[in-house]
Amino acid sequence: MQEFFMQNPVAFIAMLLWMIPWKGVALWKAARNGHKWWFIALMVINTMAALEIVYIFFFSKKQATPSQENKIE
């Protein structure tokens, strides 16, 4: 794989442009939601944005606080 990226630097740049925004958003959401273990996993594990996308869309839902649950709509 390293040889592929050495021969195709555009592919490497495209991969980085795909991964960095997803990782940034996922890390930001994990930090804001207090998900310490998710933050560590997202920071350490590189899955070419697959884990980040799963976290953003399925696990980053903010838990309702008791004051929000009792709010009359």
pLDDT tens, 8-56? 889 889 999 999 999 999 999 999 999 999 999 999 998 889 999 999 9
**Position 39 in a domain:** yes
| Domain count of the fold of the chain | 1
Is 64 part of a structural domain of the chain?
A: no
In a domain, 46, yes or no: yes
Residue 4 lies in a domain: no
Better pLDDT: 19 or 68: 19
Residue 69 forms part of a structural domain: no
pLDDT at 12: 87
In a domain? residue 8? no
Whole-angstrom CA distances from 26 to 9, 10, 11, 30, 45 are 26, 25, 23, 6, 12
Q: Is residue 50 part of a domain?
A: yes
- pLDDT value at 71 more than 90: no
Instruction: Using pLDDT thresholds of 50, 70 and 90, give the confidence band for residue 65.
Output: low
**Domain carrying residue 24:** 18-59
Instruction: Read off the tokens for 2.
Output: 């390293």
